[in-house]
């Protein structure tokens, strides 16, 4: 029924489309005045765009009425953004691009309002796909660690769970094209099933974002933004290939997209296969192999009245588990998953619709996600399939944005979710069958005081109900648990401001209250989970926080400097703690508890490009975090403080080559001596990395090649957030990756 509802709304909106606006112009080099072919022009809210021709000319049709950001970008040049008001007529905008020295502000969509970086009251970090391509990790999620303040809980290279400023798991919300992922994220062993197919960039909010996204965004948000549609009248594609020396891994994908008179479509598939990885020093981390494959399809129409798109994502992952029973059986390095592995499948159907009525913008998003988590044991376990849980989630978002004037705009939104968890025939019901329903209303206002300052304020109300029927739990499911009904109500708010001292210098301040309701696992879990026995707490309360963020930013032609600090107080912080109790075989029992806690820290980064040496770039950043319970003791899963240095030699344009570079970098990770009660301290370590690459321009297409290396000296080390510490397995040793990206066109 829910899938039919998504399709109904998509078809309904598609039938509303009619004629449209257009924009044309010519793009040249600001210094030489030469025409620039191959420049990307994107209307951000629509993901609609084109590429300039050999004469530097461009044209985009079928643009709805309303005010939109138009971004002009080209490899080797600074991005330029224009705010354009389309009201039923043709618009001509000629653009002069300056050669890139240090990238300026870009347009982001994950904040409270779509806008440039300098307009947001919270800093939103943005990673373009070209940046992610140059990362050597086989896992897409691991590439996000390049952002200061973002870390990763890992169980080998195939399993990664994000950490933002010390908060993780259910405290961080991952969005796929703006849709919250439902992925059993209560555990560090359960990775998000995401990949880079169809993704244009990743935007990251560091700090509370519950006002926009609800429960789970108390620590921050990671949003995978869809790539722009193909330019009108074209069919184009790209083939990407990666090879990894450490895991003998290969990652291959092919994508195709088209645009015929406003009808847009796309398809892609990816296969990622890796052997057991080799830790520093040369040993083998047996049964850390992983294999994933995914398929993505999309179709839609972009017309004058708006954009209406339908997406389907499928991901299947088999992730080896380096747990004691597996390490006794797996003694030969391999690629195929045979014993003790997670067998995960995820299907996601999304309907995203926008209607533009002059100053009023209406958004209606619907999604249905079907996530199946299975745990496969071995021939020595009582049955081969130990766990089989299916999580089905339906979400909706109705939102209207109104521009009262050029300086004032506001939005009003209604958001909700219906979720069910069901156990299959497998014997272990770690989480019982359960139903969850919630509904929220939220609103925010933004006012601009000319070019001097921006002020934002908003409020949100949430209601959630969780129902767990009577069920058997515990050892051999021998204990009858009573029916559980819990209701959670919350009000959250935020206020923030950006003060512009001049075009290049600004100050951001944001004060936000966010919340997270206890999840089903924290309330009701009862069973073996890895090497421990977890028991939930039915009396848990809402986790509520208040965080103050202060950031200072300077951007000049040759230097970027940024410093951000925060203080985060959390009432009723939920955490897992070991007890003195054990089950019959001696396994320790862990229980969920709550206590007031606080986190403080920040990030500082600098990028210098000496004016007299136009090919040299120097970068450095440092991330600091301190997290403690108010009653004493440290919070679990807190990353160590990290210092990063990078020296890059880059030539933006040289004949047919674009952004050719050579770089060396090092990471100094300090010792983490502030371990939680069931953790161990971790010594510091130093990693040395390097890379070389270039973009080759051939007939207005950009071919990308790079050779990247991490841990070049093959350092033997353990990251504090690696859960393989429990089985004494070190992190990955030297890894060299070859990355190739080849675009192609079928129809221009």
pLDDT bin (cut points 50, 70, 90) of residue 197 is: confident
Res 127: pLDDT = 81
| Domain boundary, last residue among 60, 78, 108 | 108
303, 335: one domain? yes
List, in order, residues 6 or more apart from 427 with CB less than 8 Å away: 382, 383, 386, 477
129, 78: one domain? no
- Over residues 691-738, the pLDDT tens digits come to 999 888 777 778 889 999 999 999 999 999 998 998 899 999 999 999
126, 50: one domain? no
pLDDT at 129 > cutoff 50 = yes
Beta bridge partners of 715: none
Q: Are 277 and 179 in contact (CB under 8 A)?
A: no
Quote the mean pLDDT of the chain.
86
126, 165: one domain? yes
The structure tokens 């420049």 sit at 39
Res 91: pLDDT = 83
94, 210: one domain? no
| Domain boundary, last residue among 61, 90, 108 | 108
Average pLDDT over residues 78-91: 77
Helix (H) or strand (E) holding 5: helix 2-14
CA distances from residue 452 to 383, 404, 560 in whole angstroms, order as listed: 66, 19, 20
pLDDT at 102 > cutoff 90 = no
Q: What percent of the chain has pLDDT over 90?
A: 43
Range in 46-60, 151-165, 509-523, 564-578 the model is least confident about: 46-60
**Pair of tokens at residue 610:** 């000496």
259, 197: one domain? yes
CATH of the domain at 7: 2.60.40.1120
CA distances from residue 354 to 4, 66, 198, 201, 307 in whole angstroms, order as listed: 19, 12, 20, 20, 5
Give the residue from 381, 464, 481, 477 showing the smallest Cα distance to 423: 477
- Over residues 384-423, the pLDDT tens digits come to 888 899 999 999 999 998 888 888 989 899 999 999 999 9
Res 717: pLDDT = 94
CATH of the domain at 269: 2.40.170.20
384, 243: one domain? yes
pLDDT at 16 > cutoff 50 = no
164, 103: one domain? no
Q: In terms of residue numbers, what domain contains 723?
A: 115-747
| Domain boundary, last residue among 108, 135, 160 | 108
**Domain count across the chain:** 2
156, 72: one domain? no
Res 2: pLDDT = 56
602, 691: one domain? yes
261, 121: one domain? yes
103, 122: one domain? no
């Amino acid at each position: 029924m829910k899938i039919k509802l998504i399709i109904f709304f998509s078809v309904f909106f598609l039938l509303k489309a009619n004629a449209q606006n257009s924009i044309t112009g010519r793009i040249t080099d600001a210094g030489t005045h030469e025409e620039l072919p191959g420049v990307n022009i994107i209307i951000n809210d629509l993901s609609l765009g084109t590429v300039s021709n050999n004469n530097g000319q461009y044209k985009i049709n079928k643009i709805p009425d309303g005010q939109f950001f138009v971004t002009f970008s080209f490899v080797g040049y600074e991005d330029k953004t224009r705010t354009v008001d389309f009201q039923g007529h043709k618009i001509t905008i000629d653009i002069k691009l300056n050669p890139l020295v240090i990238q300026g502000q870009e347009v982001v969509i994950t904040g409270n309002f779509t806008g440039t970086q300098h307009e947001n009251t919270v800093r939103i970090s943005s990673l373009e796909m070209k940046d992610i391509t140059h990362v050597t990790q086989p896992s897409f999620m691991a590439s996000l660690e390049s952002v200061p303040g973002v870390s990763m809980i890992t169980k080998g290279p195939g399993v990664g769970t994000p950490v933002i400023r010390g908060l993780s798991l259910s405290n961080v919300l991952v969005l796929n094209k703006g849709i919250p992922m439902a992925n059993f994220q209560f555990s560090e062993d359960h990775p998000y099933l995401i990949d880079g197919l169809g993704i244009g960039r990743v935007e990251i909010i560091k700090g509370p974002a519950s006002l926009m996204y609800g429960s789970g965004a108390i620590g921050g948000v990671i949003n995978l933004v869809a790539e722009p549609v193909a330019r009108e009248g074209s069919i184009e594609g790209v083939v990407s290939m990666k090879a990894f020396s450490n895991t003998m891994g290969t990652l291959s994908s092919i994508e195709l997209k088209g645009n015929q008179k406003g009808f847009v479509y796309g398809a892609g598939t990816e296969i990622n296969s890796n052997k057991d990885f080799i830790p520093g020093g040369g040993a083998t981390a047996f049964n850390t192999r992983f294999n994933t494959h995914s398929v993505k399809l999309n179709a839609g129409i972009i017309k004058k009245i708006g954009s209406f798109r339908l997406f389907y994502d499928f991901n299947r992952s088999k992730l080896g588990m380096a747990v004691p029973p597996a390490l006794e059986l797996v003694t030969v390095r391999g690629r195929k998953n045979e014993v003790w592995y997670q067998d995960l499948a995820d299907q996601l159907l999304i309907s995203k619709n926008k209607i533009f009525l002059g100053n009023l913008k209406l958004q209606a998003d619907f999604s249905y996600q079907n996530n199946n988590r299975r745990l496969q044991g071995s021939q020595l376990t009582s049955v081969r399939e130990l766990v089989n849980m299916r999580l089905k989630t339906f979400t909706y978002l109705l939102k209207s944005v109104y521009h009262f004037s050029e300086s004032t705009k506001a939005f009003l939104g209604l958001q909700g979710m219906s979720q069910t968890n069901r156990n299959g025939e497998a014997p272990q019901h770690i989480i019982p069958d359960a139903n969850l329903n919630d509904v929220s209303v939220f609103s925010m206002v933004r006012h601009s005081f000319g070019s001097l300052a921006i002020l934002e304020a908003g409020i949100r109300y949430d209601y959630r109900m969780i129902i767990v029927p009577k069920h058997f739990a515990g050892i051999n499911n021998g204990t009858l648990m009573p029916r559980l009904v819990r209701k959670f109500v919350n009000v959250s708010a935020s206020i923030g401001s950006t003060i512009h001292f001049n075009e290049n210098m600004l100050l951001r301040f944001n004060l936000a209250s966010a919340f997270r309701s206890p999840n089903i696992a924290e309330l009701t879990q009862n069973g073996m989970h890895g090497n421990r026995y977890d028991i939930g707490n039915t009396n848990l309360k809402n986790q509520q926080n208040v965080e103050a963020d202060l950031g200072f930013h300077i951007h000049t032609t040759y230097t970027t400097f940024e410093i951000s600090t925060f203080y985060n107080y959390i009432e009723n912080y939920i955490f897992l703690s070991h007890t003195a109790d054990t089950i019959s075989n001696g396994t320790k029992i862990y229980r969920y508890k709550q206590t007031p806690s606080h986190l403080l820290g920040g990030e500082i980064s600098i990028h210098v490009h000496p004016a007299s040496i136009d090919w040299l770039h120097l970068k450095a950043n440092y991330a600091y975090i301190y997290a403690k319970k108010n009653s004493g003791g440290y919070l679990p899963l807190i990353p160590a403080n990290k210092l990063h240095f990078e020296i890059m030699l880059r030539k933006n344009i040289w004949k047919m080559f674009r952004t050719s570079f050579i770089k060396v970098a090092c990471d100094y990770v300090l010792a983490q001596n502030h371990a939680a009660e069931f953790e161990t301290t971790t010594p510091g370590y130093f990693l040395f990395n390097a890379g070389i690459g270039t973009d080759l321009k051939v007939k207005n297409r950009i071919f990308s090649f790079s050779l990247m290396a991490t841990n070049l000296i093959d350092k033997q080390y353990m990251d504090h957030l690696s859960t393989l510490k429990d089985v004494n397995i070190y992190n990955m040793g030297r890894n060299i990756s070859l990355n190739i990206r080849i675009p192609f066109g079928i129809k221009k």
